[in-house]
Structure 1
Amino acid sequence: MATDFPEQIKELGATLTSIEKVLDLDAMQREIDELQEQVGAPDLWDDQANAQRVTGRLSTLQAQLERVQGLRGRIEDLEVLVELAQEEGDADSLAEAESELTKLQQAVESLEVRTLLSGEYDEREALVTIRSGAGGVDAADFAMMLQRMYTRWAERHGYPVEVYDTSYAEEAGIKSTTFAVKAPYAYGTLSVESGTHRLVRISPFDNQGRRQTSFAAIEVVPVLEQTDEIDVPDEEIRVDVYRSSGPGGQSVNTTDSAVRLTHIPTGVVVSCQNEKSQLQNKASAMVILKAKLLALKKAEERAHLDSLRGDVQATWGDQMRNYVLNPYQMVKDLRTEHETGQTQAVLDGEIDDFIEAGIRWRRGQEAEATA
């Protein structure tokens, strides 16, 4: 059946119009103009933290506006291409138009998902912590597989990743890792990945070739800015320093530069060993600690609201996604029911469909909770 170009292009244009209204492009342009004035001020860099905030916000808004305007231009160009191709009966141009239509539909759908990220911290960069759970060496290996999956996902999108701390397991894999994904909306996007992930496969570490089930936990928190209100008195923090180490206990540093911070009232512990300087590691660890304490505070507030509502069901179950490599190939999200048989592609970082389904699911849950 031939593609109904006029109808599909009309639907695409209408969807983009609704997105433009949600994003409020006029207000976005006004904020860009104001930020550009601030960037032009000669004393901007006297306050480096504020300068980074201003330039970062400006860059984010400009990229978002250009993205929307670019899609609008592509839709208009497609309309002209289809009209000319149909008039001249140009089959090659119609095939090109069909390909572009598919790409545009995917791009607009992805942008529509972005408009669902309206939480207080959704625009922030993300701190991701992965911990191996039950399953011994297979769980440690699974944790490393997940680290690779999210790193590959970030690379596909051109998002920088900075690893703060990795604790290697003795035989293979990792006990835990914490890394930052440095991109606008990384927190809002990746926060739906929080929870327990489960792997089922023939264990490469079992000489009898038995099937093994293992677990890993994902925690995602937003990177905080200096303006965020989270006060951590010095007397509430215990600081331990130790020597950085790599896989197999190999020393990667000859001084005690790695830093471990313990927040005494809550028991939250964070480590950082990516920098050569103890001072730098302490500063990075403090960023992570504050982010985790803020997430803890927000979780307590949500739990309190749930108790007031009489809501005894946890929104996020302990197990949110299964990765089955044997006896069949399947990755399935237990919340959204989204699934695929392309397990290797998922483990190579192709997880956008799962993330988008998770964001839509979360918005549905929020709508139900406020109804």
Structure 2
Amino acid sequence: MAEFDYTQAIADARAKYESIALALDIDRMKQQEQDLEVEASAPGLWDDPENAQKITSKLSAVQSQLKRLASAQQRIEDVETLVELGQEENDADTLSEAQNEVEGIQKDLDDMEIQTLMDGEYDERSAVVTIRSGAGGVDAADFAQMLLRMYLRWAERNGYKAKVMDTSYAEEAGIKSATFQVDAPYAYGRLSVEGGTHRLVRISPFDNQGRRQTSFAAVEVVPLVEATDHIDVPESEIRVDTYCASGPGGQGVNTTYSAVRITHIPTGIVVTMQDERSQIQNRAAAMAVLQSRLLVLRHEEEAKKKKELAGDIKASWGDQMRSYVLHPYQMVKDLRTGYETSQTQAVFDGDIDEFIQEGIRWRHEQRREAAEEADE
């Protein structure tokens, strides 16, 4: 086994730290922290709870990032001292401790580096995610529910606030579709790489002959619309239907016409919402999701025009982006990045950070290559 090169490892860590600090612009972040502190201390802040939550959440995120950066810098200096001490005294235990610390620092810096790669127009925002069952019958509906649980567990593991906004249950098992919102800085930047078609291969628990079944589910991720986006939706362009909510929710939900379906006539986009007790609340939530989807549609149309001007850009996302194989072997593999793991149960329990991080790196590289081609 090659001897661990402490000098090179520490130099690499310091170089990566400086690169991250430059990309995140620490001075800008400190100014942002001051501005948010002023907003957070303003009288009457909580007169508008939703806005207050956004301000305090942003402030907490900025403070946390600054703290992580300061901690990383201090840890690099401390471990350098620890290595010098271990080498002077020829203390194997101290050097082993230093190696573990250097490797821990490198992992933390890798995690922080991800944020520097989330530089899309809407990456900083919260996310609205919709999962729909595809081909595969009852297995696909069950798979869609497995994905919903996976993402909710992922949000829980990371301390992100997640709320299911609408669920359409399938007749036998699972769900036809579900929409949920994740409120956290850069939630869209992270989850947007999860958009696409997911495939499950397993022995079907719904087949009495125990045959292998392939099923599909689609994941759509849009950024949460904000007041500054100016997405106007004239009443003449929408059709609003109300109906009784279905599934769990209690007597009050299931016996009143509180559920809302909004159809955007020009595009055919349909949004349903039934989580809230009030029809007014469901309509407001459905309009917010509709505006978010129209925002993405507008962004895609603008990108399409740029693509036509720039010519063909290689490496499109494609329809199928990840496979979950439970039989005849255990493997979850991202077909874009090549990242894979045999820990399938951990993945379905929400351990998908590595997939997301590799997806962000892959997307950043695609954007870079596309920009280079457009400049040629």
TM-score (normalizing by structure 1): 0.93
Partner of 1:332: 333
Asked if 1:5 corresponds to 2:3, the answer is no
Partner of 2:21: 20
AA aligned to 1:134 is: A
- Residue 195 of structure 1: how far off its partner (Å): 0.5
Cα separation, 1, equivalents of 2:60 and 2:307: 38
Partner of 1:290: 291
AA aligned to 1:270 is: V
Q: How does 1:1-371 map to 2 (within 5 A)?
A: 1-42=2-43, 44=45, 51-246=52-247, 253-311=254-312, 315-371=316-372
Secondary structure of the equivalent of 1:162? strand
Kept in 1, the 8 Å contact 2:313–2:370? The answer is: no
Cα separation, 2, equivalents of 1:297 and 1:314: 22
AA aligned to 1:261 is: I
- Residue 47 of structure 1: how far off its partner (Å): 6.3
AA aligned to 1:272 is: M
Q: Which runs of 5+ in 2 are unaligned?
A: none
AA aligned to 2:162 is: V
Out of 361-370 and 93-102, give the one that drifted further: 93-102
Cα separation, 2, equivalents of 1:134 and 1:145: 15
Cα separation, 2, equivalents of 1:51 and 1:145: 34
Compared with structure 1, are the counterparts of its residues 235 and 210 closer, same or farther at alpha carbon in structure 2 (3 Å cutoff)? Answer: same
Secondary structure of the equivalent of 2:228? coil
AA aligned to 2:13 is: L
Out of 269-278 and 246-255, give the one that drifted further: 246-255
- Residue 50 of structure 1: how far off its partner (Å): 5.4
- Residue 55 of structure 1: how far off its partner (Å): 3.5
Cα separation, 2, equivalents of 1:47 and 1:250: 30
Secondary structure of the equivalent of 1:227? helix
Compared with structure 1, are the counterparts of its residues 91 and 314 closer, same or farther at alpha carbon in structure 2 (3 Å cutoff)? Answer: closer
Compared with structure 1, are the counterparts of its residues 307 and 84 closer, same or farther at alpha carbon in structure 2 (3 Å cutoff)? Answer: same
Cα separation, 2, equivalents of 1:172 and 1:268: 26
Out of 38-47 and 169-178, give the one that drifted further: 38-47
AA aligned to 1:308 is: L
Cα separation, 2, equivalents of 1:29 and 1:314: 38
- Residue 121 of structure 1: how far off its partner (Å): 0.5
Q: Please give the per-residue CA displacement for 1:317-343, whole angstroms capped at 9, x wherever unaligned.
A: 011111111112211111111112222
AA aligned to 1:244 is: A
Secondary structure of the equivalent of 1:115? helix
AA aligned to 2:203 is: I
Cα separation, 2, equivalents of 1:249 and 1:210: 38
Q: Which runs of 5+ in 1 are unaligned?
A: none
AA aligned to 2:348 is: L
Secondary structure of the equivalent of 2:124? coil
Kept in 2, the 8 Å contact 1:253–1:276? The answer is: no
Q: What is the aligned-residue RMSD (CA, Å)?
A: 2.2
Secondary structure of the equivalent of 2:79? helix
AA aligned to 1:174 is: I
Cα separation, 2, equivalents of 1:252 and 1:229: 32
- Residue 37 of structure 1: how far off its partner (Å): 2.7
Cα separation, 1, equivalents of 2:248 and 2:318: 33
